[in-house]
Structure 1
Amino acid sequence: MDRRRPTVTEEEVLHRLEAESRQQTERVRAMLHEEGRPDLVEDLDRQLRESRLGITGARATWDALSEPQRKVLLTLLEGNRRLVRQNHSQHWYDVIGEPEAVARVAGRPTIRNLIARELLAPDGGAFDPEAAAVLTERARFVVQHGHQNNNPG
């Protein structure tokens, strides 16, 4: 007689965790309503929605960026631009495209960090992928929600 415990799938575990999370959230919401704090219920709902949509993560990513990294993203967003490594330097990158080119925008470590965060995508081809880079959709989302959060109005 085989007395092994039945195996639980990853999907079942995730489903249980999600159900427990929903139940806990509803308990907190009910407690706040009982305390007469509908303002806190609204705030909780907003925070949960922003977390679910990735806005909270985008803001956290923006906050974690250095000023030079933020400058690269904001510069690339101004028009139709991309980063290209300088021909005479393996360390520095220029921005090319419209409205105008900008020399020595960032060094290789800054660009590699942005690529690692999936905010830039290497675009230099198979033999030298880091020769050029372009913004990702994730970068646009991070700038939209992070920069906007830090600069209201």
Structure 2
Amino acid sequence: MTDVLERIAADRERTRRRVREIIGEHGAEALAEFDAGMEHVESGRYAMAMLWHSLSEPQRRVARLLGDGDRVLARCRHTRHFYDAHGGEHAVDKAAGRGTVAKLVAQGVLRWSGKPSDPEQLAELASRGRGLLAALLSRN
């Protein structure tokens, strides 16, 4: 397996060198632009930007809300259709609908963190969600 991975890495590096040579023929400015773009892709910022753009406005609002302090989403006591945000300076009632939270979990932005008998009782930022917010903050 490691042979295959090493071969893939070597092929990738050869291809990247050839592309750099071709782009270098168009000048140093084009090469600098290519290198900056590749660094953007390899650092993961490109993937995080694409993830952010794929989120709906309610999903973005929930991600921002959870990124503000050490908040978690807890299912409302009286209905199974909404989640309240707890933690931070003050709680937010009906911060998100169940569908919004489920979609964020499916995208890896949130993760279920309830007890084993009811894992969907609580949701919190997953590592991908923390990376998303860190990339967003570093961009601004």
Would you say 1:24 and 2:23 are equivalent positions? no
Highest Rg: 1 or 2? 1
| Regions of 4+ moved over 6 Å | none
Q: Distance in 2 between matches of 1:38 and 1:144?
A: 31
Q: Match for residue 13 of structure 1?
A: 4
Aligned-pair identity in percent equals: 32
TM-score calculated relative to the size of structure 2: 0.90
Please tell me the residue identity of whatever aligns with 2:21: A
Shift of 1:107: 1.0
- Is residue 133 from structure 1 mapped to residue 133 from structure 2 by the alignment? no
The normalised TM-score by structure 1 is 0.83
Query: RMSD of the alignment, in Å?
Result: 1.7
1:113 to 103, 109, 118: 103
Correspondence for 2:40 among 27, 36, 50:
50
Could you tell me how far 1:17 is from its partner in structure 2? 2.3
Q: Contact 1:123 / 1:133 at 8 angstroms: preserved in 2? A: yes
Q: For structure 1, which segment, 79-88 or 15-24, has the greater mean C-alpha deviation from structure 2 after superposition?
A: 15-24
Can you give the 5+ residue segments of structure 1 that lack an aligned partner in the other structure?
A: 1-9
Secondary structure of the 2:62 match is helix
How far apart are 1:50 and its partner, in Å? Answer: 2.3
Q: Deviations over 1:72-103 (max 9, x none)?
A: 01011112211000000011001011211111
**Runs (5+) with no aligned partner, structure 2:** none
Q: Of the candidates 42, 52, 72, which is equivalent to residue 82 of structure 1?
A: 72
Greater CA deviation, 85-94 or 132-141?
A: 132-141
Query: How many residues of Structure 1 are paired with residues of Structure 2 in the alignment?
Result: 140
SS at match of 1:139: helix
* Distance in 1 between residues matched to 2:79 and 2:18, nearest whole Å: 59
Cα deviations by residue, 1:42-75 (Å, 9 ceiling, x for unpaired): 2222222222222111111111111111100101
Q: Give the partner amino acid of 1:114.
A: L
